[in-house]
């Protein structure tokens, strides 16, 4: 069994929007089979954590409450009884804020390590769609996977299951 799967959200789980932020559930659509992939991945990973930059909050475009509502919606869509996502970490700060949590910085990963001290980095992965995800993952010592429109989370699941 693998240990921890760190997932970026936008561009991995749900579609990004052109020129604007995903601020509520009307904006939220799963990338093809990403919901199925998460359920399957939860069978081979001990835990799944989301690490997501959400500077729309810092910009005042949405509130922390909006984001939390959206995540409740997302988790409800994913599951009836089972909880597949163990915890969601988000960075609400602006790119210019110099916080320590915005990827490629490692604050969210370090927080996860405090919450789940047994994380085994050697058996863990980061999946993201941008360079800052990959940089953060590597910075934390994780094996990294970059997804795109032509290689999705589902495609990676299939590869991993071979």
The residues annotated as belonging to the active site are 8, 10
Q: Does 129 bind Mg ion (CB under 5 A)?
A: yes
Residue placing its CB nearer to Mg ion in the complex, 123 or 139: 139
Helix (H) or strand (E) holding 3: strand 2-7
Residue placing its CB nearer to Mg ion in the complex, 11 or 92: 11
**The one segment of 5-13, 30-38, 103-111, 112-120 that binds Mg ion by CB under 5 A:** 5-13
Q: Does 137 bind Mg ion (CB under 5 A)?
A: no
Cβ neighbours of residue 27 closer than 8 Å, sequence gap 6 or more: 17, 21
Residue placing its CB nearer to Mg ion in the complex, 111 or 146: 146
Q: Are 57 and 63 in contact (CB under 8 A)?
A: yes
Shortest Å distance, C-beta 133 to Mg ion: 6
Task: Say how far apart CA 78 and CA 106 lie, in whole Å.
Answer: 27
Cβ neighbours of residue 59 closer than 8 Å, sequence gap 6 or more: 94
Task: Say how far apart CA 22 and CA 53 lie, in whole Å.
Answer: 12
Cβ neighbours of residue 110 closer than 8 Å, sequence gap 6 or more: none
Residues between 8 and 47 with contacts to Mg ion, criterion CB under 5 A: 8, 10-11
Shortest Å distance, C-beta 21 to Mg ion: 12
Shortest Å distance, C-beta 5 to Mg ion: 15
Chain positions contacting Mg ion, by CB under 5 A: 8, 10-11, 129
């Amino acid at each position: 069994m693998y240990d921890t799967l760190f997932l970026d959200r936008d561009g991995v789980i749900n579609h990004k929007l052109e020129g604007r932020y995903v601020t509520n559930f009307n904006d939220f659509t799963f990338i093809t089979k990403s919901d199925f992939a998460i359920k399957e991945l939860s069978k081979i990973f001990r835990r799944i954590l989301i690490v997501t930059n959400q500077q729309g909050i810092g910009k005042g475009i949405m509130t922390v409450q909006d984001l939390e509502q959206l995540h409740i919606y997302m988790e409800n869509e994913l599951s009836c009884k089972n909880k597949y996502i163990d915890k969601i970490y988000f960075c609400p700060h602006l790119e210019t804020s110099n916080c320590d949590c915005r990827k490629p910085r490692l604050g969210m990963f370090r927080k996860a390590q405090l919450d789940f001290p047994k994380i085994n980095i050697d058996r863990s992965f980061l999946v993201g769609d941008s360079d800052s995800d990959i940089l953060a993952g590597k910075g934390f010592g994780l094996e990294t996977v970059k997804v795109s429109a032509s290689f999705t989370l589902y495609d990676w699941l299939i590869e991993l299951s071979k």
